[in-house]
Chain A
Amino acid sequence: DTGVSQDPRHKITKRGQNVTFRCDPISEHNRLYWYRQTLGQGPEFLTYFQNEAQLEKSRLLSDRFSAERPKGSFSTLEIQRTEQGDSAMYLCASSSSGGQGLGVADTQYFGPGTRLTVL
């Protein structure tokens, strides 16, 4: 396994459309995180999973956003009725809670991101 992967890498959509992004974490990692990053800012936390359970959601995650990790492996992030303010880079990261695999101290490793542009 070479790392966290995300698909698509770029998405352009019209306002009001729904979009879905996928994240495949490092295979031995049980934790998966979604962040959003806009230009000139650091990543902002959206939500995270431990295995299939969604344990925390940021107040940034409005009702239009939903995330799933049905089998504790890959995750999807869906945005309904997109708005121009949703334009950002959506980053996925994974980590291991048990000190296994690549990381130490639950280090998060990021995927390449999905850049969303809402017209």
Chain B
Amino acid sequence: GQNIDQPTEMTATEGAIVQINCTYQTSGFNGLFWYQQHAGEAPTFLSYNVLDGLEEKGRFSSFLSRSKGYSYLLLKELQMKDSASYLCAVRDMTGNTPLVFGKGTRLSVIA
């Protein structure tokens, strides 16, 4: 089966750093994606990891450990506009397969 777990909700303070964790159990693995989704809007692509390690992109970084089935998204210098849901998604096979999404983590950034 396929299972992707992430915390339901998190709260962090403006200017701080927050780490959103994701664990996955899938029959195969061919990449992990993080998306941001504001309420009522479509998911927007943030990052992609297929090899172990850290990928940095501005204020956002994503880490992957394939042996542990674990990823995290790190958001630095939090801004109010970062309040959104963050979706972890796994592609579990090569080639033509859709993404399997977690339920998302709703992040609230407070002043």
List the interface of chain A (C-beta within 8 A of B): 4, 31, 33, 35, 40-45, 48, 50, 55-56, 91, 97, 104-113, 115
Instruction: Report the separation of the CA atoms of residues A91 and B50 in the bound assembly, to the nearest whole angstrom.
Output: 25
Instruction: Report the separation of the CA atoms of residues A107 and B47 in the bound assembly, to the nearest whole angstrom.
Output: 9
Q: Within the complex, which residue of A33, A56, A91, A106 is in contact with B42, where a contact is CB–CB below 8 Å?
A: A91
Instruction: Report the separation of the CA atoms of residues A59 and B19 in the bound assembly, to the nearest whole angstrom.
Output: 34
Instruction: Report the separation of the CA atoms of residues A119 and B51 in the bound assembly, to the nearest whole angstrom.
Output: 46
Question: A residues within 8 A CB of B102?
Answer: 42
Q: Which of B83-109 contact A (CB under 8 A)?
A: 87, 89, 91, 95-104
Contacts A105-B48, A110-B42, A110-B44; A55 near B96 (Cβ below 8 A): yes
List the interface of chain B (C-beta within 8 A of A): 4, 31, 33, 35, 40-45, 48, 50, 87, 89, 91, 95-104
Question: A residues within 8 A CB of B99?
Answer: 43, 45, 108
Question: B residues within 8 A CB of A113?
Answer: 41-42
Question: Which of B31, B35, B99, B104 is most buried by chain A, counting CB atoms within 10 A of its CB?
Answer: B99
Shortest Cβ distance from B55 into chain A, in angstroms? 11
Contact A110 B98 (CB under 8 A): no
Instruction: Report the separation of the CA atoms of residues A50 and B102 in the bound assembly, to the nearest whole angstrom.
Output: 24
Contact B100 A45 (CB under 8 A): yes
Question: B residues within 8 A CB of A111?
Answer: 42
* 23 cross-chain CB contacts under 8 A: A4-B42, A31-B96, A41-B103, A41-B104, A42-B4, A42-B89, A42-B101, A42-B104, A43-B99, A43-B101, A44-B101, A97-B96, A104-B48, A105-B50, A106-B91, A108-B98, A108-B99, A110-B35, A110-B43, A110-B44, A112-B42, A113-B41, A113-B42
Question: A residues within 8 A CB of B97?
Answer: 56
Contact B103 A91 (CB under 8 A): no
Contact B48 A45 (CB under 8 A): no
Please name the residue on chain A nearest to B101 by beta carbon: A42
Instruction: Report the separation of the CA atoms of residues A110 and B38 in the bound assembly, to the nearest whole angstrom.
Output: 13
Question: B residues within 8 A CB of A105?
Answer: 31, 48, 50
